[in-house]
Amino acid sequence: MMKQRILIAEDERITAESIKRTLEYLGYPVSSVVSSGEAAVEEAKKNKPDLVLMDIKLKGKIDGIEAARQIRSLADIPIIYITALTNKATMERAKKTAPYGYIHKPIEEKELLSTIEMAFLRHKLESQLKENEQRYRELVEKAGVGILIDDIEGTILYSNEKAAELYGYSVEEMKKQSIKSLVHPDDIKMVLKFHKDRVQGRSVSSSYVLRGIRKDGSVRYLELDAGCYKKGDEVIGTRLYIKDITESIKAEEEKEKLQSRLAHSEKMAGIGTLAGGIAHEFNNILQIMGGHVEFAQRTKKPEDIDEALNVVTSHADKAAKIIKDLLTFSSAESSDKKRANIAELIDSVLLLTEEHFKKYNIEVVRRFQKVPQVEVNRGELQQVFLNMITNARDAMFSQGGKLTIEVKGDGNRIETSFTDTGIGIKKEKLGRILEPFYTTKGSFGKGDIPGTGLGLSVSYGIVKRHKGTIEVKSQKGKGTTFTVILPVNKKKPKKTTLKK
């Protein structure tokens, strides 16, 4: 490694020569020897020595202290003063230039060497520290997330550029703000409570969403990640990492709106299918009843009349049962979430469909385990189950088969699976079946089953809103299993809506 070069500024030629010889003897090359303050500044500028040994009293218009000040302002070169004076005022002036040490005349070799070595060491450590600080400063100040530090009172102590940008203030202006001026009045209570609990060492959720108020008064949705800001063991404030999620919340709301519109159209389509099925059933019943009445009116055999009227009575009962089932189904509809028994919901759907299934040679097998109740929108869940059951029927339309409905689960989640022995879904289609308007069905009468392509996508939307998911497994020609997975007893998710 190259030895550090030293500049000597000393107006006494003999002293200067002697220092130079000593330094060279100790192995430190001397870059040059000057006798005036101006020359020292010039030399430092030109040759960039690694250290300056500076006599305070020098020739020329400026003394050593002034020369040192000028050099320090030009470059990070450590200065060691050489002095015979111990005048207090001079010492005070010298201190202000942050020297790396003082060497008193007459100079002793030992003192010279140790002072120089200490100065180099200190300078090296300081450079590393500076470099580190620079690195962290860069990381924090230029970070893509907003970073704030506030004190116990909630006054902002530090803001990086991103945080200032989020709030529409300059970094300087941010330091005059506090929680109160940065948080929406409706959220301030929550935020202050979190803040208080945190600085008092109570455990609080570290991540939450709040509405922030910008300088121009507009509202932004901010996701916060907060932690204690400590000095040693003492909490002296909080540190906050902030992300603006307004756009994604808006997009989410748009998606929800769209989904609810989709859900509505699917529901209408579902009701249409259901109504069509029931109308068909009723027309058959009316045909049988009317037909047998006509026959009874015309036949001459009394035993035929009796038999025909029995048919009429039994079909009137059948019609009444369909109406009753329909009422059971519709009475469960409501828009709010209530605790519900999954098996009961499935039964209410099966009431309407099971009879129909028998005609198609479809056997329905129930495997209902006892599971906890779940908080759901009953009407919506019925729609999902109706969709699953109708899909299973459609898959087994031409050849019949078995629909196995299984309900199982634990305290965390409930799995409801619908397994049919139908035609199955091709692998390449499986990935797309949850897409809106994607359907494998066709228009009725063409030998296919009608479909809107909305059923599953709407069901998926509903299940997702219940924080659950739908899984599907299928084998072409063997059958399909749809599994609706719903969480149990999860805390009600906090609903965020954009308020003007």
Partner 1 sequence: MENPKNLKILIVDDEEKICEMFVKWLSLRGYKVQFALDGKKAIRLAKQETFDFIFLDIVMPGIPTHETLEEIREISSSTKVVIITGKLIDSGLLNELKLQGASDFLQKPFKLDDVMKLLPDQD
Chain contacts with partner 1 (rule: CB under 8 A): 276, 279-284, 286-288, 290-292, 294-295, 298-299, 304, 308, 311, 315, 359-361, 397-398, 400, 444-447
- Cα separation, 281 vs 315, whole angstroms: 11
Nearest residue (CB) to partner 1, 297 versus 335: 297
Nearest residue (CB) to partner 1, 245 versus 296: 296
- Is-contact 409 343, C-beta < 8 A? no
Which two tokens mark 35? 């006798």
H helix count then E strand count, the chain: 15, 17
Buried b (16+ CB within 10 A) or exposed e, 163-201: bbebbbbeeeebeebebeebbbeebbeebeebbeebbee
CB of 324 to partner 1, least distance (A): 20
| Three-state SS at 388 | helix
- Cα separation, 118 vs 341, whole angstroms: 79
Nearest residue (CB) to partner 1, 47 versus 287: 287
- Token pair 């869940």 is found at 381
Cα distance between the two ends of the chain: 67
Buried b (16+ CB within 10 A) or exposed e, 204-232: eeeebebbbbeeeeebbbbbbebeebeee
Nearest residue (CB) to partner 1, 280 versus 476: 280
- Cα separation, 336 vs 333, whole angstroms: 9
Question: At 432, phi and psi to the nearest 5?
Answer: -110, -10
Nearest residue (CB) to partner 1, 214 versus 298: 298
CB neighbours of 485 closer than 8 A, spacing ≥ 6?
413, 414, 415, 416, 463, 468, 469, 470, 471
DSSP state of 5: P
Nearest residue (CB) to partner 1, 372 versus 400: 400
Nearest residue (CB) to partner 1, 120 versus 295: 295
CB of 316 to partner 1, least distance (A): 13
CB of 286 to partner 1, least distance (A): 4
Q: How far is CA 415 from CA 76, 204, 372, in A?
A: 69, 32, 11
Q: Is 451 left (phi over 0), alpha (psi -120 to 50) or beta?
A: beta
CB of 311 to partner 1, least distance (A): 6
CB of 264 to partner 1, least distance (A): 23
Nearest residue (CB) to partner 1, 211 versus 315: 315
Helices (H), 220-335: 246-298, 302-331
Nearest residue (CB) to partner 1, 230 versus 280: 280
Nearest residue (CB) to partner 1, 175 versus 402: 402
CA 298 to chain centre: 77
Which two tokens mark 353? 């469909």
Which two tokens mark 355? 């009879």
Detail the DSSP E strand segments found in 44-100: 51-55, 79-83
CA 17 to chain centre: 69
Nearest residue (CB) to partner 1, 280 versus 338: 280
CB of 260 to partner 1, least distance (A): 30
Nearest residue (CB) to partner 1, 132 versus 310: 310
CB of 322 to partner 1, least distance (A): 13
CB of 444 to partner 1, least distance (A): 8
Burial of residue 394 (CB within 10 Å: 0-12, 13-18, 19+) is buried
- Cα separation, 84 vs 10, whole angstroms: 12
